[in-house]
Structure 1
Amino acid sequence: MPLYTAHLPKWKKDEISEIKRLSEEYKLMGLVDMYGIPARQVQDIRRNLKGKAELRMTRNTLIEHALGEIGGEIKDLGGKLDGHSALIFTNENPFKLYSMLEKTKTKMAARPGELAPTDIVVEKGPTSFKPGPIVGELQQAGIPAAIEAGKVTIRETKTVVKEGQEISKKLADALAKLDVKPMDVGLLLQAAFFEGTVYESDVLAIDEVAFYNNIITAAKQAFNLSLNAAIPTKDTASDLLTKAVREARNVVVEAAVVSSDVMDAIIGKAQSQAMALQSVVE
């Protein structure tokens, strides 16, 4: 049932009407997580998406109102609302949208309390720092630092925090000073409604190169199966005929059945066998 909105102030009603209008204008409506994205980067993302998708930041409650009024399967999108959600509209399919949003992500310094998205590794080698308190700060953060040739140096490559572990303040400060930016910041597609179906992000995260390679491998295996099992198709008919002719020729040659097509091969085989026999006798 549509949510009752008569009691809402005009600006909220207008916002709900705009969401409904955009849902009719575009083929896809999606939810994106805006948490932790600086305002400057949001502007960059808008600029990168211009002409491809429209981003609209609004309150989760208003999104729920709008989805309720639109009705149908799109209401299921409301169950995916989480945290600092915003809406995104596009005429692209959800897989293309996911790929586009992944390309808008940039690397940023870690903040205390954030979870490492992957293992964070500090590589060995010299830094640009001169000897000073920075050595102790790095060591306290678990980074093996020392002074060599008048500069602060990381003595060995080390994984300073594992994927999923919390980043401490000391480590976050140390990584920032070393210009290590482990955090991917950008729009995270939570879910998308397209042609009557809600797609979640884990379904959309496809490695396009690996997917393409899998298709090529499957095509090769299907071709070989058809060829080896002698199943004729429009793609394998020519190769099957070539294989059959080659195998028939080999049978005729091995059986020494005289034929104008294989006479040269039979004589060549006989000569080869005679020469082999001669070498043994001598």
Structure 2
Amino acid sequence: MAVYTMHLPQWKRNEVAEIKRCSEEHEVVGLVDMYGIPASQVQQIRQNLRGVATVKMTRNTLIEHAMTEMGDKVEDLKGHLSGQSALIFTNENPFKLYKLLEQTKTKMAAKPGETAPEDIIVPKGPTSFKPGPIVGELQQVGIPAAIEGGKVKIRETKTVVKKGEVINKKMAEALVKLSIKPMDVGLILQAAYYKESIFTPDLLAIDEEQYYNNVVLAAQQAFNLSVNAAIPTPVTISTIISKAVREARSLGVEASIYEKDIADLIIGRAFREMLTVALAASESGYELDEATRKAAAAVSAAPAAVAEAPAAQAEEKEEEEEEEKEDEEGGMAGLGALFG
């Protein structure tokens, strides 16, 4: 028996031993705040956590004794003990545990003296109350109530208690009558020990969607950097090669380098430019041969053909961008699979 608990009664030593045993059998040891949770709610929470996590309620002093005997980083949990703390054991990671505990919270009526967790807002609209003293009671706490159509009605939406303010008795009674339950009741994770580290709520309360979007954005930016800087990787090598081929083809056309893969493109561009010049000449009175006249007439009938070359280039650029997008999306597929 460790020296820390030798002086304790047997039942307390048994409690300490039980805490140590549970800690050794689970990946995560956490502290949760039980303050203000009704017994019925505690039982419901235990049922919701069955098979995933175990909640053990005991004295804070015994928790301190157990953690002192276990030593290492787990002893740092003692600094997070406060109020009506209880232990929670699970094999889930701390992030899943935090999310699970948040999901077990339910809304309950406010009690006098409690602090508003968020702005408490009374919406406008009719109530189920008939005319009577209720109108004055609501007005006394700043709720704009009036009688309309034989019923009590809230004339406008109003914030009656701001976040962080204390809820007084009259306000609490009014909110109960209006069936407004502003208090989140459930286990509040104070801290969790996992793999030699202590995790606190500020580290565990992450926006999963935003986190995912940030990772995706970082991956896309890394992909683009790799392609534009020509840094080959297994994911980007095909896109880099495709981009180099397109740029080489464009350079060959612009510089009129007669190579078998681009000769047709050069001739096609020259033909389009010739038609443009012929059209301009015919408009100035120059007589064209029959073949050129027909081609020029076709250009005249469809003015958009004059811009065929730049339009073709734009179309080709769009195709290139679409190919790059497809390659990039292919590179992102593996990343997306990680997030389901």
Give the TM interval when normalised to the shorter protein. over 0.9
Judging changes above 3 Å, is the alpha-carbon distance between structure 1 residues 58 and 270 closer, same or farther for their aligned structure 2 residues?
A: same
SS in 2 for 1:63: helix
User: What is the CA–CA distance in structure 2 between the aligned matches of 1:153 and 1:109, rounded to whole Å?
Assistant: 21
User: What is the CA–CA distance in structure 2 between the aligned matches of 1:123 and 1:3, rounded to whole Å?
Assistant: 60
1:8-37 deviations in whole A, cap 9, x for unaligned? Answer: 222211111111111111121110000011
Matched, 1:42 2:35: no
> If the length of structure 2 is used for normalisation, what is the TM-score?
0.79
Judging changes above 3 Å, is the alpha-carbon distance between structure 1 residues 265 and 72 closer, same or farther for their aligned structure 2 residues?
A: same
Q: CA RMSD in A?
A: 1.5
1:3, 1:68 within 8 Å by CA — same for their partners in 2? no
1:70-116 deviations in whole A, cap 9, x for unaligned? Answer: 22221111111011100001111111111111111111111111111
1:1-282 superposed matches below 5 A: 4-281=4-281, 282=283
User: What is the CA–CA distance in structure 2 between the aligned matches of 1:173 and 1:228, rounded to whole Å?
Assistant: 65
1:16, 1:62 within 8 Å by CA — same for their partners in 2? yes
Shift of 1:3: 5.6
Aligned residues: 281
**Percent of aligned pairs with the same residue?**
64
Judging changes above 3 Å, is the alpha-carbon distance between structure 1 residues 123 and 268 closer, same or farther for their aligned structure 2 residues?
A: farther
Shift of 1:279: 4.0
Off by >4 Å, runs of 4+ in structure 1: none
1:41-68 deviations in whole A, cap 9, x for unaligned? Answer: 1001100111111100011011011111
**Structure 1 or 2: more helix by fraction:** 2
Structure 1 stretch displaced more, 87-96 or 147-156? 147-156
Query: Which structure carries more relative contact order (alpha carbon 8 Å, separation 6+)?
Result: 1
Judging changes above 3 Å, is the alpha-carbon distance between structure 1 residues 278 and 90 closer, same or farther for their aligned structure 2 residues?
A: same
Judging changes above 3 Å, is the alpha-carbon distance between structure 1 residues 273 and 156 closer, same or farther for their aligned structure 2 residues?
A: farther
SS in 2 for 1:19: helix
User: What is the CA–CA distance in structure 2 between the aligned matches of 1:77 and 1:3, rounded to whole Å?
Assistant: 20
SS in 2 for 1:4: coil
SS in 1 for 2:146: strand
Q: Which amino acid aligns with 1:101?
A: L
User: What is the CA–CA distance in structure 2 between the aligned matches of 1:202 and 1:25, rounded to whole Å?
Assistant: 26
Shift of 1:141: 1.5
SS in 1 for 2:240: helix
Q: Which amino acid aligns with 1:71?
A: G
Structure 1 unpaired stretches of 5+: none
Rg: which structure is higher? 2
SS in 2 for 1:159: strand
1:221-275 deviations in whole A, cap 9, x for unaligned? Answer: 1111111222111111111111111111111111222222223322332233233
SS in 1 for 2:184: strand
User: What is the CA–CA distance in structure 2 between the aligned matches of 1:253 and 1:136, rounded to whole Å?
Assistant: 85
Judging changes above 3 Å, is the alpha-carbon distance between structure 1 residues 279 and 68 closer, same or farther for their aligned structure 2 residues?
A: same
